[in-house]
Structure 1
Amino acid sequence: MPALKKLVLSMSMLATGATAFAAEDGHEKAPSLQSFLGLPVTNSILYSVIITLAIIALVRWLVGTPKIVPTRGQAIVESAVDALRGLYEPIVGKKAMPMAFPVLITLFIFIVFHNWAGLIPGVGTIGWGHEVNGHFHVSTPLVRPHTSELNGTIALALVSFGAWFIIVMRYAGPGLLLFDLFGNKADKKELAPAMYWGLSGIFLIVGFIEVVSIFIRPVTLSMRLFGNVFGGENLLHAMHFLPPFYFLELLVGFVQGLVFTLLTAVYIGLICNHGDDHHDEEHGHGHAAHAKESAH
C-alpha cells in the first residue's frame, strides 16, 4: 500500500521532530533521557515513537490486506479517510489535493492521537523527582506527549510550513505567488489610470504585510497547539482528573488537530485553489463544442 508507506514515513519524521527549541519562562525544557548517535532523546520523543508505532500497528490491524469488499476495520478507515477528503478538498482545490492530502491526514492523525495519548494515566506523572513539602514532585517524567512540548509543536508547524511552500511552488509557481501577494487584482479596463496605479501601490503595501503574516504562521500554529494542550494538562491537574474534564480534553484534542490541519489547508488553498471552477467550466464548454461539431 503506497499510501500506508507514506503514512509510516511521515509519522516517523514527525515523531523525531526538532528538539532544540524550548521556552525559558513558563515551560520546562524537555529533559534528555539518553543520547542516540550523539543526539538527545527526550521523554517526548520517546513517547512519540511509541505512540506512532501504535498508530501504524492499529491501521495495519484494522486494514490488513485491502479487499474489494472491505472488512469492518477497512470500512472504518476508508470512511474516515473519505470524510477528511471531503472536508479538505473544497479548501485546497482539486489540483493540489493529491499532494496536499497525505500531509494533511498525517498531521491530523498524528496530532489527535498524541493529544489523546497524553490523557493515559501515568503519562507525565511517573518519573524521577524529589519531595516538596512532604509530597513527591516529578521533575523528569518518563514520558510526555509530543504536543505538550513547545519543541514538538514547533516541529509540526515547520513541517506544515515546509509542505505549504513545496505544494505552492509545485502547483502555483513563484509567478502566481508573487502576483497573489503584490499584484493588482483590479480590472484595468474598468478603472481610470490614476485609480488603477493608486491601487497598485496599496496592493504592494498589503503584500509586504502578507509576507510578514506568512513567516509568523509557524509561530502562531505552534503556540496555538501548545497553549491548548499545556492548558488542558494544567486544567486536569487542577480538577483532580474528574471524568467530565477527561471528556472535555478528548474533544479539545480532536478539535486542535482539526484546526491545525484546516489552517494548513486554508494556507495552501489561498494560493493553489485559483481557477479550478473556471477551468472546469472552460473544459465543459470545450467538450460541448466538440460534441456539437461532431453532431454536424
Structure 2
Amino acid sequence: MAGKKTLLLSFLMLLIPLANASAEVSPAANELFNIFGLPVTNSMVTGWVVSILLIIAIKLMVGRASLVPSKGQALVEALVTFVRDTTLPIVGKKAFRMSLPVILGLFFYILIQNWSGLLPGVGSLGTGHMVDGHFHITDPWIRPANADWNGTIALALVTMIAWLFIVLKSDGPVVLIKDLFGNKADKKEVGNFMWMALWPIFLIVGVIEVVSILIRPLTLSVRLFGNIYGGESLLHQTGFIFPFYFLELIVGFVQPLVFILLFSVYVGLICNHGDGEEHH
C-alpha cells in the first residue's frame, strides 16, 4: 500500500513541473480526432469526462438519501441550500421550481470545469518541441472546457434557451411582449395624453431590450472564457506558484456564482412580480 502511495506521489510530482513546460497558452482548442467529419477537441473530451465524474461523485456522496444525512449528502445539501437561498429572492417563487434544476446544473458544471484546469497535467501534457532549452507544448492532450470559447458559447446558448422556455412556460408570450414593449406608465397618474405620448419611448426601449437579450450569449460566454483562459495563461506564466493558484481557486468559484446570478436576474426581470402579484 505504501509503495502504491509513493508511486502515485512521484507521478503527481512529475506532472507539476510540466506546468512550466509551456508559458504560452493558445486560445484555440486542439483537435484530437474527428467523428464523421466533426472535430472532437481536447476541451470537449475534458468536459465530457469531468461531467461524467461529477455525476458519479455526487451519486456516491449522496447514495440513498436519508433523514440523517451522511457527510457527502450533508455537503451536497449545503451547496444546494446555498444556491437556493441566493437565487430564490431574485427569480421569484413562481418560476423558481422550473429554474432551480437549471441553476444547480450550471453552478456545479461551471465550478467543476473551472477547477479541473487546476489539476496537475491539465494543459501541460501533450506533444511539442524544445525552445531555448525548454519543452514547448503545442498540442496539449487535456484542456479545461471553459478555457475554450466554443464551449462557453454553447453553454451560454443553452442557458438562454432555458431562459426563454422558463419565461414562456411561467408567464407566457403575452406577458413577455408586454414586459418588453408595453407602456409601464399608470394612465390614472399621468393622464391619457401623456400616457399615449409615452408609447413611442417604451417601444424604443423595448427594441433596445431585445438587442440586449440577443447579445447576452456573447457577454455570458466572453466573461467566462476570458476569466478562465486568462487564469490558465497566468498560471503557466508564473509556474503555478501558490498565491496565483489560490487566486484561481477563488475565481473558479466566483465565476459560476456570477453566471447563475445573471441567469436568475434574466428570469426574475420577467417572472418575479413580487409576492402575490401576478400579471393579468
Name the TM-score class by shorter chain: 0.7 to 0.9
Q: Structure 2 unaligned runs (5+)?
A: 1-24
1:166-185 matches, within 5 Å, as 166-185=165-184
- Asked if 1:69 corresponds to 2:68, the answer is yes
The TM-score with structure 1 as length reference comes to: 0.82
Give the deviation of 1:180 after TM superposition.
0.5
Using the alignment, how far apart are the partners of 1:74 and 1:35 within structure 2?
Answer: 39
% identity of equivalent residues = 55
Q: How many residues align?
A: 254
- Partner SS for 2:32: strand
- Partner SS for 2:33: strand
Aligned to 1:206: 205
Using the alignment, how far apart are the partners of 2:191 and 2:168 within structure 1?
Answer: 34
Give the deviation of 1:117 after TM superposition.
0.6
Paired residues of 2:92 and 2:274 also in contact (CA < 8 A): no
- Partner SS for 2:66: coil
Give the deviation of 1:247 after TM superposition.
0.7
Q: Which has the higher contact order (CA 8 A, sep 6+)?
A: 2
- Asked if 1:246 corresponds to 2:251, the answer is no
Aligned to 2:118: 119
Aligned to 1:288: none
- Asked if 1:262 corresponds to 2:261, the answer is yes
When residues 215 and 27 of structure 1 are mapped into structure 2, their CA distance, relative to the original with a 3 A threshold, is: farther
Per-residue CA distance 1:65-99 (angstroms, 9 max, x = gap): 11122222112111211121111111111111111
The TM-score with structure 2 as length reference comes to: 0.87
Paired residues of 2:113 and 2:146 also in contact (CA < 8 A): yes
Paired residues of 2:62 and 2:70 also in contact (CA < 8 A): yes
- Partner SS for 2:58: helix
- Asked if 1:147 corresponds to 2:150, the answer is no
Aligned to 1:6: none
Amino acid at match of 2:181: F
Give the deviation of 1:276 after TM superposition.
3.3
Give the deviation of 1:238 after TM superposition.
2.3
Give the deviation of 1:261 after TM superposition.
0.8
Using the alignment, how far apart are the partners of 1:124 and 1:271 within structure 2?
Answer: 41
Give the deviation of 1:129 after TM superposition.
1.4
Bigger CA drift: 44-53 or 126-135?
126-135
Per-residue CA distance 1:260-283 (angstroms, 9 max, x = gap): 11101100110011243336xxxx
Using the alignment, how far apart are the partners of 2:99 and 2:56 within structure 1?
Answer: 24
1:91-130 matches, within 5 Å, as 91-130=90-129
Amino acid at match of 2:273: H
Using the alignment, how far apart are the partners of 2:184 and 2:165 within structure 1?
Answer: 24
Paired residues of 2:44 and 2:145 also in contact (CA < 8 A): yes
Q: Structure 1 unaligned runs (5+)?
A: 1-25, 280-296
Give the deviation of 1:38 after TM superposition.
4.1
Per-residue CA distance 1:157-196 (angstroms, 9 max, x = gap): 0111110010011001111111101111111011132211
RMSD: 1.5
- Partner SS for 1:41: strand
Using the alignment, how far apart are the partners of 1:52 and 1:215 within structure 2?
Answer: 28
Aligned to 1:9: none
- Asked if 1:163 corresponds to 2:162, the answer is yes
- Partner SS for 2:94: coil
